[in-house]
Amino acid sequence: MFNDTLPAILLQSPPMNYDLPHRRFNPLTGEWVLVSPHRAKRPWLGQVEKTASDDTPPYDPTCYLCPGNTRVGGSIVNPAYSGTYVFDNDFPALLTPEAMAQAEGHATAAVGSAELFQSEPVSGTSRVVCFSPRHDLSLPQLSGPEVEAVLRTWGEQTRELGALPDVRYVQVFENKGASMGASNPHPHSQLWATSNVPHTVAIERDNQRQYLAGHERPLLIDYVEQERRLQERLVCTNDHFTILVPFWAVWPFEMMVIAHRPVSYLFDLTAAEFTALADVMRRALSKYDNLFEIPFPYSFGWHQAPFDDAAHPEWVLHGHWYPPLLRSATVRKFLVGYEMLAQPQRDLTAETAAARLRDLPDVHFSQRG
């Protein structure tokens, strides 16, 4: 049942002609995005991307993530794993507290004003999660139980890392495709557990707290209920989760997954919710690949509550997909010029992007027929 007493700020938006330039507000970050729909028709003579190869083998003897292969460095051999496989990153972005303590004697003397030249040490742990032994299958090509196993692994790793004494936040993320910085095509994700709460997460936390204090309901619960009423930006939905193109999206086919109840962490999900989340993600990610019939590149990440010794009644588990492609498999969006100097800007409206994705088949193009 939808709540019939939603805040006026969500119920009374001014009428807008979305075909004209306008800007939209992101209540999670407090930022605005400029929307210029008429620019979608402009000719493109810029950079053209290479399309990904579709002849990826199930096993690659040269891949350092495949089962039984030697990892980078030559000292570790992967086990013959048959499901998800987790290991400490061989090239971590962070040092453990122990390694940081050993390196303290090599500190560089600070120069200049302490107010203008601030820095502080950050420690943490970086791990890799391989989705399956198959070198050629991304999340939408896995079975429902296999996707659910990935989700449960992310939850278990979040719980384990979040319990470490110096960890205040665990970021789960996946970079898919070379154009989004993936260093290895074997489908995998990462977890970075840090001794600080990252800037974007802290802003989302503060804005959700402020909204809860003013409305006595979580921001994203009100938002997803309103989006399900309107149905303009929905991509996939079921009883427990909704995937949509957010009203304030910056990237052309950006998507967001939102839980239907306040839940802070992946490991807090029920068995039914894990199954529902696997279902909705497989369907939505199949639509991504079906859009241009390629392995659709993106950066994805879960936003879970911090581990900052505080209760988080404001938090609603959600994740963000940021894909770069705009017009085709070879034309991408760049955040340059005005976007870097003023504010984010997009040409394709969120409503148009959602409609294109929503109308695509749920079944992955490689598995049809």
DSSP of 30-55: TEEEEE-GGGGGS---S--PPPPPS-
pLDDT for position 17: 82
| Domain 24-49+198-367 indexed as CATH 1.20.950.20 | no
Residue 98 main-chain phi, psi, to 5 deg: -65, -45
Q: Taking a C-beta distance cutoff of 8 angstroms, is the pair 144, 282 a contact?
A: yes
Given a contact cutoff of 8 angstroms between Cβ atoms, the answer to whether 127 and 170 are in contact is no
Of the candidates 200, 209, 222, the one whose C-alpha atom is nearest the C-alpha of residue 312 is: 209
Amino acid at 213: A
Whether residue 278 contacts residue 171, with contact meaning beta carbons closer than 8 Å, is answered with no
Return phi, psi of residue 171, to 5°: -100, 120
Most confident of 116-120, 299-303, 341-345: 299-303
Mean pLDDT throughout 275-301?
96
Q: Tell me which of 22, 106, 135, 188 is the catalytic residue.
A: 188
Question: Where are the extended beta strands (E) located within the chain?
Answer: 22-26, 31-35, 85-88, 124-130, 169-176, 188-194, 234-237, 241-244, 255-259, 298-303, 318-322, 325-328, 331-332, 345-346
296 contacts 286 by C-beta, under 8 angstroms: no
Calpha distance 210→183 (Å, rounded): 39
Nearest to 153 by CA among 137, 139, 166, 134: 139
The pLDDT assigned to 338 comes to 85
Distance CA 352, CA 249 (A): 12
Give the contacts of 68 (CB within 8 A, at least 6 positions apart): 77, 78, 79, 80
Per-state percent for the chain, helix, strand, coil, to nearest 5: 30, 20, 50
- pLDDT of 99 > 60? The answer is yes
316, two tokens? 């609603």
Sheet with 345-346, strands from edge to edge, namely: 22-26, 31-35, 345-346
pLDDT(107) > 70: no
Check residue 101 and give its pLDDT.
83
| Domain edges within the chain | 24-49+198-367
pLDDT above 90: percentage of residues in the chain: 72
Residue 319 is predicted with a pLDDT of 98
What's the rounded mean pLDDT across residues 231-238?
98
Q: Does 188 participate in catalysis according to the annotation?
A: yes
Nearest to 146 by CA among 55, 58, 278: 278
**41 vs 176, residue with greater confidence:** 176
pTM (2 d.p.): 0.91
No. of helices (H) and no. of strands (E), the chain: 8, 14
- Taken in order 262, 265, 266, 270, the sign of the CA dihedral is negative
Element (H, E) at 288: helix 271-292
Task: Read off the pLDDT of residues 138-194 as tens digits, 9 standing for 90 and up.
Answer: 999 999 999 999 999 999 999 999 999 999 999 999 999 887 778 799 999 999 999
Phi/psi of residue 355, nearest 5 degrees: -60, -40
